[in-house]
Structure 1
Amino acid sequence: MYETVLQIPVLGMEVEQFLLLLITALAGGAFGAAIGALPAFIFTGFLVFLGEGIAILQREVGAAGGIEGQLAADVTGVIGFGVVTGPHIAFAGGVAATAYAGKKYPEMEPEGWDYHFGKNILYAFGTKPDILAVGAVFGALGWLITEIGYAVVVVGGTALSDFIAVSVFATAFIARAVFGYPIVGKSRGDSILDMSPFEREEPRMAADGGEVPPEHEGRLATEPWLPHQYKWSGVTAIGLVGGILGGYIYIATESIFLGYAISAMSLLFLNLGVEKIPVTHHITLIGAVGAVVFLPATGPVIALLAAGVFGAFSGLLGEVTQRMFYAHSGTHVDPPAMAIAIAMTVVAVLAILGILPNAGYL
C-alpha cells in the first residue's frame, strides 16, 4: 500500500509543511503588528544571537568529542530568521500594519512623532483586529516571496540574493501601493538624493504627492531615515567600523550572523529613545561576508580590511537607497534590507562568474 504525499512543486515542500509554515507566518506577521516592527526585529537579534551562541558552543563540544545536534540551526534558521521572528515576516508585518494605520487611524499617532505616522515602526498596535490582520497578510506574503526567491532565483546552486532582505523591502513597496502612498514620492530638493530640504526644515504640503492628509500639513518636506546617520562622511565612518567588527567576529567565531545579531539587539536602545544609536546590522553582516570571501586566500589581516570595505559599501548603499525610496514618501521602506539585497546580489554574481571564491552565506 502506497501513501500519496501532495507536494508544492515550485517550493519543493509537502502541502502539510506548506500549510504549517503559512499559518505560522500569518501569526508571525500579526505578532509584528502587535508589538511593532522595530521591537519585532530586536527579537530577531536576540534569537539569532542565541542560535549563533549555541552553534559556537556545539562546534566546541563537537571538537572535544561531544554530541552533535540541530538545536542551533532550529533557533537561528527556524525561529530567528524563520516564520516566528524572521524580518521578512514579523518586521514586514509590522511595517505594513504601520502603513495601514497611517491612513486608517491617524488619530493614534503619538505626541512628538515628527514624520508621517506611517513611518513610525516603533509603535505597537496591541490587539486591534484589523491591524493585526494586515500584519498577518503581509507576514504570509513576505514568507512566500522569500521561499519562491530561494527556490527559483538560483544559478548553479547559488541564490542570486538574500531573499529575506528582498522580501522585506518588496512587501513595504506593496504596502505603499495597496494603501495609497506614492511608491517613491516627490523630491523637494535639487535631486532625489538631496537632503538639504530637511536641513532647512522645509515643510511639505498635503497636495504634494498626495502622501499626507490635510491634518498633516507642515511636516518636513524631506524625511531622512536616520537624522543622526545620513551624512556621507559619517555613514562611511560607521561602515568601516561596523564592517571591521563584523569581520572580526566571523574570524574569531566562524559565525557570519553573530555581528548582525549584536547590531540588531543594539536597536533596543534606539527603540527606548537613546539618541544617535547607529543602525548597523546591514554593515556588520556584509562586513562578515567580506571576511568570509577573503579569509581563505589572504589570511586574517587582509580579510579584516576587506570586511571594513564591504561594511562601508553596504552602509553607503543603505544611505543611497534611503534617499531614493524612504525620504520622500509616507511609509517605512527599509534601507538596510535594500543594502543587504544589493550587496549580496553583487557578491553572488561575482562568485558565479568566478571572480570571488565564494558567495558568503548564499
Structure 2
Amino acid sequence: MTTDILVYLAAFGGGFLGAAFGALFAFSFVGITLLAGIAIAISTGDASWISLISFGPFFGPHISFAGGVGAAAYAYRRGYLSGVRDIATPLVSLAKPDVLLVGGLFGVGGLIVHDIVSIIPWLGTHTDLPGITVVISGIAARLIFGKTGIIGTNSEGLTGSAKFRPNDKDCWVRYQEGWGNAAILSLGVGLLSAWATVALTQAFPEAAGSVVLLGFGVSATSLVFLTLGAAVPVTHHMTLIAALGAANFLTITGSPLAAVLIGTCFGIVSGLAGEAFSRLWQIRGDTHVDPPASAIWPMTVVVLAIAGLF
C-alpha cells in the first residue's frame, strides 16, 4: 500500500476536484488526459502521464469520480441536491464547502480501497482496480447516505423480475437501454476499439500498454457532451473490455482478425453486463452505483482468466 503522505494529500485534492466539477465532468477529464497520455507514450515510450494523471490522484476514476459520487450522495442526503442519482451537477454550484470536503474524503478512501484490493492474491493482478474501487465506493456512499439500501423497491410496486424493469422515473440511459440496443451498440464500438488496439499495437509495440486504452479514452471524453445535454452513448465499459480482449488474444493467437473478433465478443458481453447492473442496483436506489464500472471489473477478471488458460 501507498505510504507517501503526498499521495494521500493529492487524493484528497482529486476527490475534492471531482466533487467541485461533478463526477461526470471529472470522468470526462480521464478521457481527455488519457488521449494526451497515449500520444506521449507513442512519442516517448513513457506512460508516466497516464499513471500519474489519468489514473492517478488527479483524475483517476477511483479518486476523482468516486469523490464526486460520494459528495453527490452526501449532498442528496442533506437536501442540497434534489435529483436522485445526480452525478452531472458541478457541486461547487451548491456553495456548500462541506460537500467538497466529503468529496476529498471519498478520494482518500478510493486510494485506500484501490491499494487494498491491489494486494489481494490473484484478484489484485487480474481485475480493473479503478473499476472495482468505484463500485465499492459507490455502494459505501449508498449505504452511508442513501435511504433505499443497496437494492431498493420498485417505484411502481413491481416485484420479482419485473422489479428490475426500467421506467421513465427509474432508468439509467433511457435511449440506449434494452438488451438488443446494448448488444448492437457494443458490437459497433467494441469492434472499432478492438481494431484500433490491434492496429496501434502492431504499429507502436513499445506503447502497447497505452494504446489499448484509446477506445476507453474516446468513450470517456465523449461524456462531456452527455453532461452538456447531448444524447451520446455511454460506452467505456464496452470499448475497454473489447480492447483488453483484443490485446490479450493478439498475443495468444497471433492473428489480428481473431483478436478483433474475440475482443468484439468480449465487448458485447460487457455491454450486456452494464445493462444488467444498471437494472440490478443503479435504478433501484437513490444514489449512483456505476453500471460501467460494475461491468468492467468482473469482465476484466473473465478476460484475463480465459487468456491465462492458453
Q: 1:312 aligns with which of 258, 268, 284?
A: 268
Equivalent-residue separation in structure 1 for 2:86 and 2:194 (angstroms): 32
Q: 2:88 aligns with which of 119, 122, 144?
A: 122
Aligned position for 2:31: 45
| 1:237-256 superposed matches below 5 A | 237-254=184-201, 255-256=211-212
Equivalent-residue separation in structure 2 for 1:123 and 1:195 (angstroms): 26
Tell me if 1:347 matches 2:303.
Answer: yes
Render the CA deviation track for 1:172-218: whole Å, top value 9, x for unaligned. 110111114311111343435655561xx5xxxxxxxxxxxxxxxxx
Aligned position for 1:139: 107
Equivalent-residue separation in structure 1 for 2:135 and 2:281 (angstroms): 10
Aligned position for 2:139: 173
Q: Percent identity over the alignment?
A: 37
TM-score, normalised by the number of residues in structure 1: 0.78
Equivalent-residue separation in structure 1 for 2:63 and 2:242 (angstroms): 24
| 1:259-270 superposed matches below 5 A | 259-270=215-226
Q: Residues 38 and 91 of structure 1 are in contact (CA less than 8 Å); yes or no, is this contact kept in structure 2?
A: yes
Q: Residues 95 and 172 of structure 1 are in contact (CA less than 8 Å); yes or no, is this contact kept in structure 2?
A: yes
Q: 2:116 aligns with which of 148, 156, 160?
A: 148
TM-score, normalised by the number of residues in structure 2: 0.90
Tell me if 1:36 matches 2:22.
Answer: yes
In structure 2, relative to structure 1, the CA distance for the partners of 1:197 and 1:288 (3 Å cut) is closer
1:26 counterpart SS class: helix
| 1:61-72 superposed matches below 5 A | 70=46
Equivalent-residue separation in structure 2 for 1:193 and 1:311 (angstroms): 26
Render the CA deviation track for 1:220-255: whole Å, top value 9, x for unaligned. 3xx121111111100000111111111111112121
| 1:1-362 superposed matches below 5 A | 11=1, 13=2, 15=3, 17=4, 19-59=5-45, 70=46, 73-106=47-80, 108-109=81-82, 117-126=83-92, 128-150=96-118, 152-155=119-122, 159-181=125-147, 182-187=149-154, 188-192=157-161, 196=165, 198=167, 201=168, 220=169, 223-254=170-201, 255-275=211-231, 277-296=232-251, 297-351=253-307, 354-355=308-309, 357=310
Q: Residues 166 and 279 of structure 2 are in contact (CA less than 8 Å); yes or no, is this contact kept in structure 1?
A: no
Equivalent-residue separation in structure 1 for 2:18 and 2:71 (angstroms): 9
In structure 2, relative to structure 1, the CA distance for the partners of 1:193 and 1:137 (3 Å cut) is farther
Q: Residues 15 and 67 of structure 2 are in contact (CA less than 8 Å); yes or no, is this contact kept in structure 1?
A: yes
Q: Residues 236 and 315 of structure 1 are in contact (CA less than 8 Å); yes or no, is this contact kept in structure 2?
A: yes
Render the CA deviation track for 1:289-321: whole Å, top value 9, x for unaligned. 111122131411111111210110110010111
- For the pair shown, which has the larger CA radius of gyration, 1 or 2? 1
Equivalent-residue separation in structure 2 for 1:169 and 1:161 (angstroms): 13
2:160 counterpart SS class: coil
In structure 1, the gaps of 5 or more residues are 1-10, 60-69, 110-116, 202-219, 358-362
In structure 2, relative to structure 1, the CA distance for the partners of 1:336 and 1:142 (3 Å cut) is same
Q: Residues 33 and 131 of structure 1 are in contact (CA less than 8 Å); yes or no, is this contact kept in structure 2?
A: yes
In structure 2, relative to structure 1, the CA distance for the partners of 1:278 and 1:305 (3 Å cut) is same
1:184 counterpart SS class: coil
In structure 2, relative to structure 1, the CA distance for the partners of 1:271 and 1:51 (3 Å cut) is same
Q: Residues 26 and 137 of structure 1 are in contact (CA less than 8 Å); yes or no, is this contact kept in structure 2?
A: yes
Q: Residues 87 and 168 of structure 1 are in contact (CA less than 8 Å); yes or no, is this contact kept in structure 2?
A: yes
Aligned structure 1 segments of 4 or more residues deviating by more than 6 angstroms = none
Q: Residues 28 and 139 of structure 1 are in contact (CA less than 8 Å); yes or no, is this contact kept in structure 2?
A: yes
Task: Supply the RMSD in Å over aligned alpha carbons.
Answer: 1.8
Letter in 2 for 1:20: L
Letter in 2 for 1:129: P
Letter in 2 for 1:253: L
1:154 counterpart SS class: coil
2:242 counterpart SS class: helix
Equivalent-residue separation in structure 2 for 1:163 and 1:235 (angstroms): 24
In structure 2, relative to structure 1, the CA distance for the partners of 1:193 and 1:310 (3 Å cut) is farther
Equivalent-residue separation in structure 2 for 1:256 and 1:20 (angstroms): 29
Q: Residues 153 and 163 of structure 2 are in contact (CA less than 8 Å); yes or no, is this contact kept in structure 1?
A: no
Q: Which has the higher contact order (CA 8 A, sep 6+)?
A: 2
Render the CA deviation track for 1:93-150: whole Å, top value 9, x for unaligned. 00011111112124x44xxxxxxx2411110111521001110111110111111111
Render the CA deviation track for 1:25-71: whole Å, top value 9, x for unaligned. 01100100001000000011101111011111225xxxxxxxxxx3x
